[in-house]
């Protein structure tokens, strides 16, 4: 199969070469924008998870420090 590509002549692009290059540039730009958006979302999610973890740890510490409730006896 690769021998066939080696023997086949290159396709002449003519005036459409500019459009092909433009399409590749637009595609690359879209990929980069998508990756940037996903990075921002990942950072925000990590920040929110860290905040939730701090809140949970604070509640655990508060529960450990408060005195135990006395149980009422029925009788």
Q: What is the DSSP string of 20-32?
A: HHHHHHHHHHHHH
| 14 pLDDT tier (thresholds 50, 70, 90) | confident
Segments making up each domain of the chain, as ranges = 23-64
- The two tokens of residue 67 are 């005195």
The answer to whether 46 and 53 are in contact (CB under 8 A) is no
Task: Record the pTM.
Answer: 0.59
Per-residue pLDDT tens for 25-47? 999 999 999 999 999 999 999 99
């Amino acid at each position: 199969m690769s021998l066939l590509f080696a023997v086949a002549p290159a396709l002449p692009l003519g005036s459409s070469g500019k459009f092909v290059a433009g399409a590749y540039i637009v595609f690359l730009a879209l990929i980069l924008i998508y990756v940037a958006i996903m990075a921002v979302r990942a950072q925000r999610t990590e920040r929110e998870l860290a905040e939730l973890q701090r809140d949970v740890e604070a509640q655990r510490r508060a529960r450990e420090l408060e005195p135990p409730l006395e149980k009422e006896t029925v009788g």
